[in-house]
Amino acid sequence: MKDDVIVVGAGIVGLAAAFHLQAEGLRVRLVERGGVAEGASMGNAGAFAFTDILPLASPGILRRAPRWLLDPLGPLSLPPRYLPHLAPWLIRFWRASLPDRHARSILAQSALMRLAAEAMGAMVQEAGLSGRVRHEGNLQLYESEAELAAALPGWRLREAEGIAFEHVRGERLAALQPGLSPRFPVGTFTPHWKSVDDPYHFALALFDVVMSRGATISHGEVVVIETGEEGVRVRLADGGALSAGHAVLAAGAWSRPLAKALGNAVPLETERGYNTTLPPGAFELRRQLTFGGHGFVVTPLATGIRVGGAVELGGLKAPPNYARAEAMLNKAATFLPGLKTTGGTQWMGFRPSLPDTLPVIGRSKASSRVIYAFGHGHLGLTQSAGTGRLVADLVTGRPPSTPLEPFRPDRF
């Protein structure tokens, strides 16, 4: 029996799309080049960052970037050999950080986050995954009152969106997270921030639900998506081919060449993210901690404590530079005296990043039968369910649950 929809990519976004398409009564086939959820869905920080409405492309980051770039192991790294390839993306990033475009991106991100929060809650409930969601909040930490003051405009924007937060000091700060270094005298607590017990296990549990509802999966590298009047044909590197009525391109960092062959030159780049996951009991961590000035987070998981983040714009081919993971771990040990840093497992993964920090969600230029759902950067897990609902809207032809104009594939 012919599939209704082929979803290219079995990461968290592809799985959420499959879940929502099945809810429409459609037959779904996943196609995955590697293991299920073994890309960015495996090693991310595990947060539902619905309050994270501020784009990475902002006037503030442009002020900090030169200082960060001077440190090869700092929060933002750009290997010199990769600069010629990256230059067009950086120009678009600069344009996206201009005040008027930055403001539009915040409005678009806020709307998508509202949908993402509602859709994730519904998906978690229906899929029986509520036991994997934690409600501990997030604590962002600052090294001075001046650093907090510099962040206040962003918090005012969040306040305008109805996002709850509390600036904390002294005993309140210590109660939220004992054992912090005194170099962090102030923080901001967002109580409604949620996370999962482990992002990889969460994705695999969703995969099990999707498969139990009748999905199938094929393993192989997709080389081209062909379109016709009656459907699509997905061709694989091994010579095989699969047919369906529609295709959804949710291949994360590997989506760019497939979209280009369909007529959309999307400026997708790759943020190489690093982390170290320490064994359980490495520290009494009560909630996710964000060290924004240093570009990383520390997250309590059922499988241990994950120290990770930062941005390395280095493409898909260069070997990992695990010195970046070690640098974050060394900082974490300074910021959290008593953190046991032995026995950890290092990881590097690829985040699909667009210059304006917004994903691509919409129809391809070649055919309305091919739907794009990629480019979520740091927010793939967070925005997965909302994106899945929008994909289902597009495939079924109903009005989208939130306006899609800001996420158009041809907006660049």
Q: pLDDT 10s digit of each residue in the chain, 412 long?
A: 689 999 999 999 999 999 999 999 999 999 999 999 999 999 999 999 999 999 888 887 766 666 666 566 677 777 778 888 888 998 999 999 999 999 999 999 999 999 999 999 999 999 999 999 999 999 999 999 999 999 999 999 999 999 999 999 999 999 999 999 999 999 999 999 999 999 999 999 999 999 999 999 999 999 999 999 889 999 999 999 999 999 999 999 999 999 999 999 999 999 899 999 999 999 999 999 999 989 899 999 999 999 998 778 888 988 898 999 999 999 999 999 999 999 999 999 999 999 999 999 999 999 999 999 999 999 999 999 999 999 999 999 999 999 999 999 999 9
- Please tell me the predicted confidence (pLDDT) of residue 57: 83
* Unique residue bearing structure tokens 């990519």: 9
Burial class (CB in 10 A: 0-12, 13-18, 19+), 205: buried
> What DSSP element (H or E) covers 361?
strand 360-363
Residue 315 CA neighbour count, 13 Å, CB half? 12
Q: How many Å apart are CA 119 and CA 199, to the nearest integer?
A: 17
Q: How many Å apart are CA 367 and CA 245, to the nearest integer?
A: 11
Q: Which residues of 299-338 are buried (b: 16+ CB within 10 A; e: fewer)?
A: bbbebbbbbbbbbbbbbeeeeebeebbbbbbebbbebbee
Q: How many Å apart are CA 247 and CA 8, to the nearest integer?
A: 7
Residue partners of 268: CB distance under 8 A and separation at least 6:
253, 255, 256, 259, 352, 353, 354, 360, 374, 375
Q: Which two tokens stand for residue 4?
A: 């209704």
- Please tell me the predicted confidence (pLDDT) of residue 26: 98
Using CA atoms, how far residue 352 sits from 44, 65, 162, 241, 268, in Å, is 13, 20, 29, 26, 6
Give the orientation angle of helix 99-127 with respect to helix 12-23, to 10 degrees. 60
Residue partners of 158: CB distance under 8 A and separation at least 6:
51, 53, 54, 165
Residue 247 CA neighbour count, 13 Å, CB half? 30
Write the single-letter amino acid at 304: G
* Unique residue bearing structure tokens 């962040």: 151
- Please tell me the predicted confidence (pLDDT) of residue 310: 76
- Please tell me the predicted confidence (pLDDT) of residue 176: 98
Helix boundaries (H) for 213-318: 256-261
Residues 96 and 248: beta-carbon distance below 8 Å:
no
Residues 8 and 225: beta-carbon distance below 8 Å:
yes
In a 3-state reduction of DSSP, which class is residue 155?
helix
In a 3-state reduction of DSSP, which class is residue 189?
strand
Q: How many Å apart are CA 374 and CA 11, to the nearest integer?
A: 11
Q: Which two tokens stand for residue 128?
A: 């029986």
**Could you count the other beta carbons within 10 Å of the beta carbon of residue 241?**
11
Closest CA to 283 of 386, 178, 362, 188: 178
Q: How many Å apart are CA 109 and CA 55, to the nearest integer?
A: 8
- Please tell me the predicted confidence (pLDDT) of residue 69: 61
Burial class (CB in 10 A: 0-12, 13-18, 19+), 221: middle
What domains appear along the chain, each with residue ranges and CATH number?
1-54+97-132+195-268+355-412 (3.50.50.60)
Residues 245 and 369: beta-carbon distance below 8 Å:
yes
- Cα 51 to the chain's mean position, in Å? 13
Using CA atoms, how far residue 16 sits from 208, 215, 258, 393, in Å, is 12, 12, 20, 13
* Nearest-5° Cα angle at 98, 58 to 385: 50
